[in-house]
Amino acid sequence: MSVIDIHNHFFPHSWPDLAARYGTPDWPWIKHTEPDKADVMIGDRVFRHIYSACWDPQKRLEEMDRDGVEMQVLSATPVLFAYDRPVEHALDCAQLFNDAALELCVQGQGRLKALCQVPLQDVDAACKELSRCMRAGHLGVQIGNHVGEKNLDDPGIVTFLHHCAGENAAVLVHPWDMFGQSRMLKYMMPWTVGMPAETQLGIVAMILGGAFDKLPRNLRICFAHGGGSFAFLLGRLQNAWQHQPVAHGLCELAPRDYLNRFYVDSAVFDPLALKYLVETMGAERVMLGSDYPFPLGEHHVGELIRSSNLPQPTKSRLLGENAEEFLKLPRTSPGASAQTTNPSKQIPPESHQLTYSSYLRVPELLQLQYPQSRPEHHDELLFIIVHQTYELWFKELLHDLDAVVANLRDAGQNPESRDEVYEGARLLRRCTEITRVLVEQFTILETMLPTHFLAFRAKLEPASGFQSEQFRELEFLCGLKDEKMLRYHRPTPEAYAQLERRLREPSLHDAFFQALRAMGKLQIDNNASERDRFDARARAVLSLYRDEHSNRDWIDVCERLTEFDELVVGWRLRHIQLVERVIGTRMGTGGSAGSSYLKLTLDKKFFPELWEARTLLTE
């Protein structure tokens, strides 16, 4: 039976003087007071007394062995979040402690893992730091339950959570910066009263604010401290939702219907409270969390669950099985014991033979379809799968066209070589065949009756195919660049940055004509008008066709580019026909003019000079 503690904290043994580093006061710093003990200070004020388990992996492992804990997933302490600081300071601070967490894990004999922290006040910076940390080895991220006055249903935070789902990152929400502190100056009430209330507020904001309805179901998010007071006041929330329209908020379902969208930890410190929490949330939604090694944490990690009257299968789920699912860890074999009293005698992991299913990630792939209609409409699954297939083919097109650009660039640098020209033409042939498949996929969508699509169409707003980042990236990569289109992708910071990069870097169009220039086929005066430049490019293509014997390989490239261009125009045309067949001339779900807008795109060609050269051939 696995035993995994998903909620515990660390501090490094030391870190830079942040106040001096950033030139602002009241940053946390550490003061070692005696062997194995220290105080975390904020300015001149003691924030918390801590001991060596915070920074010493050997001490931590000894206490894990004492408590029968197989693995801990470390998080920084929320006092380090710095959401109210300048983003560049908060980002640097996050990077310092994220790297320190991994350094601690390296010494943990495989039993220590980490969640990162991010500067959540800036969505772009937060997304980039999360991606960096996931590549570095973190399992996910710990965030606060609010950023200033913004709750977890804030559009920027929802965008970040979308990114977490896309990165397959687990999310732990920890309360911090508690409200009402002027009335809770004594008796540690910010921790005993404020924290549970803050956590409940975070969950309720996500439910009533419609965040869960907007977020994909593969987002894995957990709320610390048993979800605060949420489970114990759920009846009050449900009652208000049923009897007061103003309490409905923006959510599509009743509050109780969202319990399968998030997890909570077990840090409630009372067997009756734990029993009620499990009965409310379900045994599959509660995980061991201890708040170790702080004084308000569980002093013998896992003791509350082990000593409870819960059935043994439920205890197994709470102690580790749920965490394995939440963190996407490999399942522990049934006979394995969590009592790892001798870490030096670890049982080597079982080797797993590669299978068709594991290689293609088939189980994960089949879990990525989330119909929005309730009750679920039969044809919505088809709609999702066809569009997901489009996106997979777009990914392959980008992969192949990037290689075509590289080959044409190399051909321009070495005009005597023919290998790169051949390889570019070969990959372009593949791209044309993929695009032919994309055109044919509209035939599958046309098996839907208009009434069947309209039955779930309203659930798609404001999403739209117009927002496909990869299709826009294909346009930019091929040379059809329009900076104004970037504004439609601002809600997705990572995609926006990728499109900005595509906008700046040389396109396939550029690489093709740069190669012709290197071959001496294209000459353009620096002061030439745009029309003169276009004509010069068209005549450079013409010169290839007029000497077919010498230019067969380059003519093959021209034919493949022309065919690809033709098929993309065909794809646009079939898109228009499908839209008019299904919804007529109605406005699109994303707010576009529907088929009227799409018709404006028919004249768009990636390589108009190739078409113009055909006109010149008749002269």
pLDDT 10s digits, 427-481: 999 999 999 999 999 999 999 998 988 888 888 776 555 578 999 999 999 999 9
- Per-residue pLDDT tens over the stretch 221-274: 999 999 999 999 999 999 998 888 888 889 989 999 999 999 999 999 999 999
- What is the token pair recorded at 584? 């007529």
φ, ψ of residue 170 to 5 degrees: the values are -70, 145
Q: What is the Cα–Cα distance from 538 to 510, expressed in whole angstroms? A: 14
Closest CA to 252 of 199, 279, 215, 219: 215
Q: How far apart are CA 124 and CA 263, in angstroms?
A: 26
Asked if CATH classification 3.20.20.140 holds for the domain at 4-328, the reply, yes or no, is yes
pLDDT higher than 80, residue 43:
yes
Q: Are 117 and 76 contacting, i.e. CB atoms less than 8 angstroms apart?
A: yes
Q: C-alpha angle with apex 61: 328 to 118, nearest 5 degrees?
A: 50
Q: Which of 190-194, 287-291, 483-487 has the highest mean pLDDT?
A: 287-291
CB contact set of 208 (below 8 Å; sequence gap of 6+): 153, 247, 248, 249, 250, 251, 255
Contact 264, 277 (CB under 8 A): yes
Give the pLDDT score at 595. Answer: 45
Confidence at residue 177, expressed as pLDDT on a 0 to 100 scale? 82
Spatial contact of 509 and 606, defined as CB atoms under 8 Å apart: yes
* CATH code of the domain made up of 378-617: 1.20.58.480
How many beta carbons lie within 10 A of that of residue 489, not counting itself? 20
Segments in 519-551 forming alpha helices (H): 530-545
The domain limits of the chain are 4-328, 378-617
**What tokens does 499 get?**
């499109």
Both structure tokens of 538:
């068209």
- Please enumerate in sequence order all residues whose Cβ is within 8 A of that of 322, keeping only pairs 6 or more positions apart, or say none: 263, 284, 285, 286, 287
Answer whether 4-328 and 378-617 agree in fold.
Answer: no
Identity of residue 191: W
User: pLDDT value at position 171?
Assistant: 97
Assess whether pLDDT exceeds 80 at residue 493: no
Mean pLDDT of all residues belonging to the chain: 89
Residue 222: strand pairing partners: 172, 263
Beta strands at 45-51 and 37-42: parallel, antiparallel or unpaired: antiparallel
Residue 578, pLDDT score:
87
d(CA 365, CA 321): 22
User: Quick one: which of 526, 564, 521 has its CA closest to 542?
Assistant: 521
Cα Dmax for the chain: 93
Band (pLDDT 50/70/90 cuts) for residue 334 is very low
